[in-house]
Amino acid sequence: MRTYRVPSVERAFKILDEIGSAGKGLTLAEVTEKTGIAKTTAFMVLTVLERVDAVRQVEGRYFLGSHLATLGGQALQRFDFRSIAEPVMEELSQKTGFTVHLGVLDHRNVIFVGKIESEGFIRFSSYVGLAQPFHVSSLGKAIVAFLPSDRIDELLKYPLERRTPYTITDPQDLREALAVIKAQGYAVEDEEDEEGVRCIGAPIFDHRNDVAGAISVTAVRADLPVESFPAVSQLVIQAAQRVSQRLGASLRLDVVPRAGDD
């Protein structure tokens, strides 16, 4: 099969990837710095993307546009992974009282492909289609911990953005944290993306026993104290295993969290 290249399309997607990863938008100068695309070319690409609502500009910063959200939602509605996981997500939310998320890894980001709101009055700003750096997410860390070592090495070559004072930004510290996650079978995001919010996630495996995604619960710090981590993490692990089994996985994480694990 012949391989075709359309540089303008590749540049557009490179820009969209960086804007999506940034979370807080990027200026034209930041787009140029992160992508290596010449300023004039980047401006022309952004102008076209803005015209078709693939990006929007607010006070000089570019954000992903609503057209992408529409397309992403249409794609995700057809994503069988989510339909398989949803009944388990519903049950996990009922058991814990927390919001439940489902995610997959895409390059350096975890993409939220499913969400079940808790019945409580607290609502989180996450949404299906959200892209979040893997290192600030329990979903992302739960997935990456079970990737081959060379893939982890590749991910840790990139700078790790600091979102809060608790974000792990040192590659070696994150590597050690991933080793702990792999050993215990679950990941904790302890106010690393947003202060006052905690998440616990566990990996999901496919029919080849490769990590395919992750499931997590999200709660405010007061509702998810450290003392509850062992019990809640066990529920998350069990939910992840049920989804894995539905995907045909034979791998099991027979891990019993220890009191005080974080």
Structure confidence by residue, pLDDT tens digits, 82-111 = 888 999 999 999 999 999 999 999 888 999
Q: Structure tokens of 93?
A: 């939310």
| Model pLDDT, residue 250 | 81
CATH of 79-246, one of 3.30.450.40, 3.40.367.20, 3.10.20.30, 3.20.20.110: 3.30.450.40
Residues of the chain whose pLDDT is less than 70? 1-3, 23, 72-79, 121, 251-262
| Model pLDDT, residue 79 | 55
Closest to 222 (Cα-Cα) out of 126, 91, 127, 98: 98
| Model pLDDT, residue 179 | 97
What gap in Å lies between CA 217 and CA 201, rounded to an integer? Answer: 7
| Model pLDDT, residue 227 | 95
Q: Structure tokens of 160?
A: 């790790």
The DSSP result for 77-97, as a single string, is HT-HHHHHHHHHHHHHHHHH-
| Model pLDDT, residue 257 | 38
Those residues with Cβ within 8 angstroms of residue 187's Cβ, 6 or more apart along the chain or in another chain: 138, 139, 141, 142, 145, 181, 200, 201, 202, 214
User: Residue 92, SS3?
Assistant: helix
| Model pLDDT, residue 249 | 87
What gap in Å lies between CA 30 and CA 86, rounded to an integer? Answer: 38
| Model pLDDT, residue 253 | 58
Domain ranges of the chain: 7-70, 79-246
**253 CB burial (10 A radius; 0-12, 13-18, 19+):** middle
What gap in Å lies between CA 118 and CA 99, rounded to an integer? Answer: 5
Fold of domain 7-70: Arc Repressor Mutant, subunit A (1.10.10)
Beta strands in the chain (DSSP E): 55-58, 61-64, 99-106, 109-116, 131-133, 187-190, 197-205, 211-220
Neighbouring-strand partners of residue 56 = 63
**10 CB burial (10 A radius; 0-12, 13-18, 19+):** exposed
For the CA atoms of 115, 91, 248, 230, what is the dihedral angle to 10 degrees? 90
Q: Given the structure tokens 């693939």, which residue do they identify?
A: 54
